[in-house]
Amino acid sequence: MEPIVDTVVLVAISVLGAALARRLGFIAPLVLLVAGLGLSFMPGLPEVEVKPELVLIGILPPLLYVAALQTNVVAFRRALRPILLLAVGLVVLTAFVVGFVVHALLPEVPLSACVALGAVVAPPDAVSATAIARRIGLPRRVVTILEGESLLNDASALVLVRISIGALLGSAVGFWEIAGEVALKAGGGVLLGFGFAIGAAWLHKKIVDPLLDDAVSLLTPFVVVIVAEELHTSSVVAVVVAGLYLGHRIPYLLSATSRLQMDAVWRLVTFLLEGVVFLLVGLQIRDLISKIERDLATTVTVTVAVFLTLVVVRFLWMYPATYLARLIPKVRAREERPPVTVPTVIAWAGMRGVVTLAAALTLPLNEDVANADYPRELFVFVAFAIIVLTLLIQGTSLPLLARRLGVMEDTSSEDALAEAGVQHAASRAARESLETHAEGAPQSVVDRLRALTDSRANSAWERLGNQDSETPSAAYGRLRREMITAERHVFKIARNEGRISEEVLNRAQRDLDLEESQLNRSDD
């Protein structure tokens, strides 16, 4: 019974923390991490142990999968060059630089262990960075680069961690062995991800029950990661590839009801998992501190050195990666030269999170390593401390930095114009379909559908040309919501008085809820 109670308590605290974050205007990971940190020092609180399998199989796959589902594949492909430079090149450089810095501070510790720590803290996390990026209105290309980096850097970091751990445990590791392992794991992950994505797409196309669609979607990342681990390929790459493929194909695979329901399900799953994982990071701190055998000065020195190294290396990488590539004519012709403020903001958006947590927990235990100077507890603490420091320092200051540097983009008018053009073409296609199939239908129905089509065609133009006052569509939405509230009230009274059954009320409520949901989406 105790594990169930503990889980319920963790979820309840994460929900309360997320609600408090929204009330205060902070990002939820930051508030939950601080809450966990505070709770970890409360007397009498039981020790919270997080298993690596819980994070690597239970938490990380669904978070990566849903992030990939929501990624714009077209924009991702256009930004693939800077994404790969960050997700592969920067991760490898960071891992080795951090490794050499830590080895210089702790010369008795094997270099392979220090590089493993560097690989653990190398990959930034998407959750906090993109949450801030969207909230403050960073340019879409910046958001795409940050999202793409966080999707792909997990794979390169985890592969480096495993290679470093192998070297630490005595496995012979040469250049060609490393290259072969990376190629095998990445290539196998791509093939496996595509294979499962095609299979899941086939299932979604055959399924007509939204509940079964939800079940297939929820199972997909877990099945992919379990099979990938059994086949010793990159589970992260497999999950990301499957998510990217299915996310791009979802408009062709699912019914409208399935899409609405699946979106709600994944939003809830993501909300709960993100909340719990950052709360767990904070709760681990007390126990980690108690297990560290090194003195306080060494612990603080190593932690600060790793944090500063991460920041400096990312800045030193960003400017050459941004501007030197534009010396190539093809790149220069395809990509505009951004102002120096853009790579500055991207460089500062290096918050760590779930992947660092997962990778840190995979570090081998002290008894499994022949070298007696291997400090696992210190390294795990440093990894957790980096999550805390990057969220507290970079997470809180990123919005201010972006505003001061003017790296913000208001795309509302551009989006409205693009939407209006496409909506006009869509409405024309709808009218042609109506005229083709209208024979035999009552004229009142045809007239009503024509009016609906005209209203949808005009709504985007109204938003574009009338942004400072209430548009007809906005007025319609406001008034219709009031009408729906009145209708709901009448149905509830009729149910309370016994004039209709609960089934009739539920059916009416569902129809009204769907209509109100459509009105709310039109306002977003």
Q: Could you tell me the mean pLDDT of each successive run of 10 residues in the chain, 524 residues long?
A: 70 86 79 82 71 81 88 85 90 93 92 90 76 72 86 83 79 59 79 93 90 92 92 87 90 82 88 84 79 85 95 94 84 81 90 85 79 83 90 86 80 60 74 79 79 69 59 77 88 87 85 78 57
The span from the CA of 85 to the CA of 409, in Å, is 24
Same domain, 32 and 80: yes
Residue 368 shares a structural domain with residue 389: yes
How many Cβ atoms from other residues are within 10 Å of residue 156's Cβ? 25
The CATH number of whichever domain residue 124 belongs to comes to: 1.20.1530.20
Considering the domain architecture, whether residues 228 and 371 belong to the same structural domain is answered as yes
The per-residue pLDDT for 524 is: 54
- Of 447, 445, 442, 351, residue with least CA distance to 401: 351
User: Range of 203's domain?
Assistant: 2-409
Pair (199, 90) in one structural domain = yes
Q: Clarify whether residues 305 and 426 are in a common domain.
A: no
Cα separation, 186 vs 448, whole angstroms? 54
The two tokens of residue 10 are 């963790």
Residue 1, SS3 per DSSP:
coil
With beta carbons less than 8 A apart as the criterion, state whether 395 and 27 touch: yes
CA triplet 158, 131, 149: central angle to 5 degrees? 35
Nearest CA among 372, 291, 350, 405 for reference residue 106: 372
> Nearest 5 degrees, angle CA 197-CA 184-CA 216?
20
What pLDDT, on the 0 to 100 scale, is given for residue 175?
54
Residues 161, 189, single domain; the answer is: yes
Supply the pLDDT for residue 245: 92
DSSP 3-state helix, strand, coil percentages of the chain (rounded to 5)? 80, 0, 20
Q: What's the pLDDT score for residue 1?
A: 46
Please tell me whether residues 289 and 355 are part of one structural domain.
yes
Q: In 46-90, where does DSSP find H-type helix?
A: 52-53, 60-69, 73-78, 80-84
Structure token pair of residue 167: 């070297």
Predicted confidence at residue 174, as pLDDT, reads 57
C-alpha 20/C-alpha 15 separation (Å) is 9
pTM of the model: 0.81
Q: What's the pLDDT score for residue 338? A: 85
Domain match, 385 and 491 both? no
Same structural domain, 166 and 96: yes
Instruction: Give the single-character DSSP code of 325.
Output: G
Q: List the one residue out of 119, 239, 233 whose CA is nearest residue 186.
A: 233
d(CA 87, CA 390) in angstroms, rounded, equals 18
Could you say which of 382, 409, 436 is where a domain stops? 409
Q: Are residues 140 and 201 in the same domain?
A: yes
Rounded Cα distance, 422 and 262, in Å: 25
CB within 8 Å of 50: residues ≥ 6 apart: 280, 284, 357, 361
For the chain, how many structural domains are there in total? 3
* pLDDT computed for residue 168 by the predictor: 79
Domain's final residue, options 391, 409, 427: 409
Collapsing DSSP states into helix, strand and coil, what is residue 289? helix
Distance CA 457, CA 126 (A): 36
What long-range pairs does 467-472 form, CB within 8 A, spacing at least 24?
Answer: 467/412, 467/413
In this structure, the answer to whether residues 335 and 390 fall within a common structural domain is: yes
Q: In terms of domains, do 106 and 249 share one?
A: yes
